[in-house]
């Protein structure tokens, strides 16, 4: 006879529940009502299965990132809301008017996610977050002279990325500069679509409620799930 307590949910159902919660960011009590288990069980399955999802999808993620290193890429950031946290400073983004984590995203020219950086405080500017998140080091070859190239918006000026030209004080941009800015912005629009797809995983959009120290792991898992959705 089998020993121990039976599992609250079959593995397949538990996995669907974990994915459902990441996608829709429902509270544990609501999710438990939908799947017929307690909020504590929802927490337990998230703790057990999310790291397994991360591990299983790591090979695909490495392949996607490796393929992207052969050509030019795009970068941009967004603030994932996490709310105010006791004894945690620097979360409030004056630009976005919310407390969150600055997430730096790398996409290929087709608008598909290929990497994300470690989360940074929401108050941090993109130019600094690009470095602090680890992306500057991981993609250093792209921003070197003769590299494949990495494009960002004006917030990344001074980082080595290809960025639009800012209007000089008291003068207008030349026609050539305006044309170049327009071309760069058209190309860069793809990374905004990438961010929109990532934020379809509502846990990154509608308010992350879990412990803040787990956010980086959740971000990695969601990124790999999005890669699987697109490339798998």
Same domain, 172 and 134: yes
The residues pairing with 81 across neighbouring beta strands, listed in sequence order, are 100
**What is the DSSP-derived secondary structure letter of residue 119?**
P
Number of domains in the chain: 2
Rounded CA separation 161/72 (Å): 11
pTM: 0.93
Same domain, 22 and 78: no
Q: What pLDDT is stored for residue 3 in this prediction?
A: 52
Tokens read off for 30: 């609501």
Q: What pLDDT is stored for residue 6 in this prediction?
A: 54
Same domain, 154 and 45: no
Residue-range definition of the domain harbouring residue 121: 71-206
Furthest CA-CA distance within the chain:
83
- Secondary structure, 3-state, 16-32: HHHHHHHHHCCCHHHHH
Same domain, 42 and 155: no
Same domain, 23 and 82: no
Q: What pLDDT is stored for residue 8 in this prediction?
A: 80
- Give the pLDDT confidence of 119-131 residue by residue, as tens digits: 999 999 999 999 9
Kindly report the number of other CB atoms within 10 A of residue 203's CB atom. Answer: 22
Q: Is residue 79 part of a domain?
A: yes
The residues pairing with 116 across neighbouring beta strands, listed in sequence order, are 105
The answer to whether 60 and 227 are in contact (CB under 8 A) is yes
Residue 38: closest CA among 1, 4, 8, 71:
8
Supply the CATH number for residue 156's domain.
3.30.420
Q: Is residue 157 part of a domain?
A: yes
- Please, where are the H alpha helices in the chain? 11-24, 28-35, 39-56, 58-68, 126-132, 135-138, 140-143, 175-198, 215-231
Same domain, 84 and 35: no
Burial (CB < 10 A; 0-12, 13-18, 19+), residue 21, is: buried
Same domain, 117 and 163: yes
Burial (CB < 10 A; 0-12, 13-18, 19+), residue 23, is: middle
Which parts of the chain have pLDDT scores under 50?
1, 4
- Give the pLDDT confidence of 167-208 residue by residue, as tens digits: 888 889 999 999 999 999 999 999 999 999 999 999 999 999
- Secondary structure, 3-state, 142-157: HHCCCCCCEECCHHHC
Rounded CA separation 115/106 (Å): 5
The residues pairing with 106 across neighbouring beta strands, listed in sequence order, are 75, 115
- Length reported for the chain: 232
């Amino acid at each position: 006879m089998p020993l121990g307590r039976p599992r609250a949910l079959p593995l397949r159902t538990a996995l669907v529940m974990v994915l459902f919660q990441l996608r829709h960011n429902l509270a544990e009590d609501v999710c438990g009502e939908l799947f017929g288990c307690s909020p504590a069980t929802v927490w337990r399955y998230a703790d057990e299965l999310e790291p397994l999802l991360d591990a299983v999808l790591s090979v695909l993620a490495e392949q996607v990132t490796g393929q992207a290193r052969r050509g030019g890429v795009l970068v941009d950031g967004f603030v994932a809301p996490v709310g105010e946290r006791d004894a945690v400073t620097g979360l409030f983004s004056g630009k976005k008017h919310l407390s969150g984590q600055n997430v730096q995203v790398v996409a290929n020219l087709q608008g598909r996610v290929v990497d994300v950086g470690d989360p940074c405080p929401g108050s941090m500017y993109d130019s600094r977050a690009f470095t602090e998140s680890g992306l500057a080091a991981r993609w250093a070859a792209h921003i070197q002279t003769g590299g494949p190239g990495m494009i960002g918006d004006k917030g990344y000026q001074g980082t080595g990325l290809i960025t639009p030209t800012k209007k000089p004080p008291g003068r207008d941009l030349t026609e050539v500069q305006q044309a170049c800015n327009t071309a760069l912005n058209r190309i860069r629009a793809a990374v905004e679509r990438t961010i929109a797809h990532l934020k379809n995983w509502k846990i990154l959009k509608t308010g992350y409620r879990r412990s803040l120290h787990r956010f980086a792991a959740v971000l990695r898992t969601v990124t790999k799930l999005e890669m699987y959705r697109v490339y798998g």
